[in-house]
Chain A
Amino acid sequence: MKMKYVSIAALLAAALASPTALAQKTIKIGNTNPYSGPASAYGTIGKTIGAYWKMVNEKGGINGRMVEWISYDDGYSPPKTVEMARRLVEQDQVLLIFQSLGTPPNSAIHKYMNAKKVPHLFVATGATKWNDPKSYPWTMGWQPNYQTEGRIYAEHILKNNPKAKIGVLYQNDDYGKDYLKGFKDGLGDKVSMIVKEVSYEVADPTVDSQMVQLQASGADTFFNITTPKFAAQAIRKAYDSGWKPTHYLNNVSASIGSVLKPAGLEKAVGLISTQYIKDPLDEQWKNDASVNEWKAFMGKYYPDGNLADASNIYGYTVAQTMHQVLKQAGNDLSRANIMKQAANLKNFRPETLLPGIRINTSATDFAPIESEQLIRFDGKEWKRFGAILGK
C-alpha cells in the first residue's frame, strides 16, 4: 500500500508547489493497473515498474531528477480507468501516463488523453489501434501487436504447408478479430485456405461445440485465438477427440504454468506460438547476464514478486523503454518533447528482449516492437526455432 502514501504525498506536494516548478524537480509518471478484479494477475506489472523506478531513484534518478510513480487500481473496469486517468492528469498533474493496462480500459481513455495532449505511452495491450499516429498522436503501444503476430503465423503456414486447410477459433471481440485480421492479411489471396472460422463468447462455459465444428470441417491446421481458460480447453479437446491438427496458439495464452499445465503437458506437445521476451524459466538463459540482472533487481526491489511469472520480466523490460525515452528527453520535459523522443527510438535494445529484436519508432511508426520468434513446445518447455520474423 506504499502507492497510496506516494499518492497522498503527491497531492500535498502538488498543493504546495506549482506544477511547472514541480515538473522541473521530479518526473511524475501516472499509471492504472488492475490490482483487484478479474485481471488482477496482471497487477504485478505495476508493482514491478514501481520497483524499477525505486531502483532508478536510488541510483540518482534520470538526468538528476527523481521519478515519482503514481499507480492507481482500476480493477480492469473502463469507467474506473476514466476516473483514475482524469485524477492523474487533472489533480496529480502527471507528465504522462505509462503502461495503463488492458484493451478496454485504454480504449476508454484513448480520446481523453489525446484531447488533453498528455502522452499515453507504451500501453499494456496488443491491440493494433495504438499504432495510429495520424488520428491519435499522443498514444503509443509497445508489445508486438496482434495483427503482427497473426501475420507471422500466416507466413509460417504459407511457407511450410501451402496446401493447409485451416480452422480458426477466436474470441468474439476486438482482441480476437484483431488477430484474425492480421492472419487473413498475412494469407493475402490465399485466404480461402481458411475452411472454417468459429467464434466463442467469454461467457460460454466451454468451447467443446466449436472444437467439434472445426474438427468436422476437415481442417488439418488450427489457429487458436483464445484467452487462457479457453485455450486450455481447446488444447485438451483437440487432443482428446483425436483431431491433432498443426496447432498455432496465440502468444496471449502461451504460458506453460497457467495454460499448458492445466490442459496437460502431453496434450500440448508440438504447439507453435511466438515469443519476444526471454523466458526466465528457460534453461538457455540460466547464465544470461540480462536475466541475472533482472533476478538481482527482483531480489532487491521486489522480493515478493514471483520469478516464474513472465509479467515481471515484461514490466522490467517495458520500464527500460520508458527510462530510455526520459533520458533522451534531457532537460526539455515538455509533453511535446516526450512524444517526440518516444517516436525517435532507434535500434534501442533492452537486453531482456530476445536476441535480434530491436525497438524502432518514428513519427509515422508508433509500433515499438514488431518482430517475434516462433517457438514450439516439446512437452517440457518452449524451444525457439527459425529466424526473427516481422520487421
Chain B
Amino acid sequence: MQELLHQVLAGLATGGIYASLALALVMIYQATHLVNFAQGEMAMFATYLAWSLINAGMPYWPAFLLTVVLAFVLGVVIERVIIRPVENAPVLAVVVVFIALLVILNSVTGWIYSYTIKSFPSPFPAEPIFGQYVTSHQGGAIGVTLVVLLLLFLFFRYTPLGLAMRAAAQNPDSARLVGIRVGWMLALGWGLAAAVGGVAGMMVAPIVFLDPNMMGGVLLYAFAAALVGGIDNPAGAVFGGFLVGVLENLLGAFVIGNELKLAVALVLIIGVLVVKPSGFFGKVLVTRV
C-alpha cells in the first residue's frame, strides 16, 4: 500500500516534467499547427544558457528571467531564419527541418558544454516540505507548471495579442484580411513556445541532471501527454502529463514490468491517434472542403 502511494507520488513528480514540456508542444501547435520535434532540444539549450549565467555568478531568479527572454528571442530567430523559408513546403519537409534542428542543437550543445552531466540548482529549499516521497523541487516544479498554464490561459483568452495569434493559426487568410500580421504571429508563437520550454528545462534539469540528451526521453512522454490531453488544449496537456507519469509508474511497477514502460507511452500515442485523435479535451476539427 505504501509502495502504491509512493509510486503514485513519484509518477506525479515525473508527470510534472512531461506536463511542462507538453505545454510547450501545445503552445507551438496552437500558434503554427505544427508539432516541433526540436522543442525538447531548444528547452535543453536554454537550460544550458541559464547554467552559464548562474555559473558566471548571476543569482537564480534574474538568471531565470533572462533565460526566458533569451529563449524567446532564440525561438523568434529560429522561426525567422530557419522555418520561414520552408513555410509553404510540404509537411514532411518541415518535419525534416525540425529533426535537423534537433540534431544540430544536440551536437552543438555537446560540443560547447561536453556530454558529462551537470547539476543544476533549484530555487526551492533542499529540506523536504512534502514528506520524503516528493522533494521540494518536484513539488515546486509542479506549481511552476500550473502557474505557466494559468498565464497561457489568460494570455490566449483575454489579451488581443493572444486572440490575434489564435486567429493567425486557425485561419491565416481571414486573419490577414482583418489586418493581423500572420508572419509575425507565427514568430511570436515560436518565441512563446521556446520561452515555455526554457521554463520546463530549468524545472526538469535539477531532477534528471543537465546533459545534452536530457530531453530525449522526456520528449516522447511529452508527446504522449499532449496527445492524450488534446494537442490544442494546454490544460489537457498538463492533465495528460500527470496521467502518463502515474500510469507509467503503476503499470511498470505492478503490471507489465519496467522493460515495457516506454512502450506505454508509444501505445498511448497510437491508441489516442486511432481511437480519439483529438484527445480527451481537444476540439474536434472540422474542415470545410
Question: Which residues of A pack against B, CB within 8 Å?
Answer: 36-41, 172, 198-201, 203-206, 208-210, 212-213, 215-216, 228-229, 232-233, 240-242, 257-259, 261-264
Given contacts A198-B258, A229-B208, contact A203 B216 (CB under 8 A): yes
Q: B106's closest neighbor in chain A, by CB?
A: A38
Instruction: Confirm or deny: B211 has a beta carbon within 8 angstroms of a beta carbon on chain A.
Output: yes
Knowing A199-B259, A205-B221 touch, does A41 contact B7 (C-beta < 8 A)? no
B259 adjacent to A232 (CB under 8 Å): no
Any A CB within 8 A of the CB of B128 = yes
Q: Does B217 contact A (CB under 8 A)?
A: yes
Most chain B CB within 10 A, of A41, A199, A209, A259, is at A209
Write 11 A-B pairs (CB below 8 A) sorted by A numbering: A40-B115, A204-B217, A209-B252, A210-B258, A213-B7, A257-B116, A258-B116, A261-B119, A262-B209, A263-B119, A264-B119
Whether B133 and A241, one on each chain, are in contact in the complex, defined by CB atoms closer than 8 angstroms, is yes
Q: Is B34 an interface residue (CB 8 A)?
A: no
Please judge, given known A-B contacts A201-B262, A203-B217, A216-B3, whether A41 and B115 are in contact too, CB under 8 Å.
Answer: yes
Nearest Cβ in chain B — how far from A245, in angstroms? 15
Which residues of A are found within 8 Å of B204, using beta-carbon distances? 205
Which of B107, B117, B212, B261 is within 8 Å of A258, CB to CB? B117
- Of B11-19, B66-74, B158-166, B172-180, the segment with at least 4 beta carbons within 8 Å of chain A is B11-19
With A38-B213, A205-B17, A240-B135 in contact, is A228–B117 under 8 Å at CB? yes
B232 in the interface, Cβ–Cβ < 8 Å?
Answer: no
Main DSSP-derived SS at the A contact region: helix
Known A-B contacts A205-B217, A242-B132; A199 and B258 likewise in contact (beta carbons under 8 Å): yes
CB distance from A93 to the nearest CB of B (A): 32
Interface residues of B (CB under 8 A from A): 2-3, 6-7, 10-11, 13-14, 17, 107, 110-111, 114-119, 128, 132-133, 135, 204, 207-209, 211-213, 216-218, 220-221, 248-249, 252-253, 258-259, 261-262
By a CB distance below 8 angstroms, the chain A residues around B116 are 41, 228, 257-258
A232-B10 contact, Cβ under 8 Å, with A41-B115, A213-B3, A240-B135: no
Q: Which residues of B sit under 8 angstroms from A172, Cβ to Cβ?
A: 258-259
**Cβ-defined contact, B259 with A216, below 8 A:** no
Beyond the given pairs A205-B208, A213-B7, 11 more chain A to chain B contacts, judged by CB atoms under 8 angstroms and listed by A's residue number, are A37-B107, A41-B116, A199-B258, A203-B220, A208-B13, A208-B14, A209-B7, A209-B14, A212-B7, A240-B128, A262-B119
Please report the C-alpha to C-alpha distance between residue A209 and residue B133 in the assembled complex, in whole angstroms. 11
Alpha-carbon distance A38/B259, docked complex (angstroms)? 23
Instruction: Please measure, in the bound complex, the distance between the C-alpha atom of A264 and the C-alpha atom of B209, giving whole angstroms.
Output: 12
B45 CB to closest chain A CB (Å) equals 16
B207 contacts A206, CB within 8 Å? yes
The answer to whether B114 and A206 touch across the interface, beta carbons within 8 angstroms, is no
Across the A-B interface, give the 5 residue pairs with the lowest CB-CB distance, nearest first.
A216-B3, A262-B119, A203-B217, A258-B116, A209-B249
Kindly state the separation between the CA atoms of A230 and B276 in the bound complex, as whole angstroms.
35
- State the CA gap A204–B107 with chains docked (Å): 20
Contact B115 A39 (CB under 8 A): yes
Shortest beta-carbon distance from B40 to chain A in Å: 11
> Contacts A205-B218, A261-B119 given: A240-B3 contact, CB under 8 Å?
no
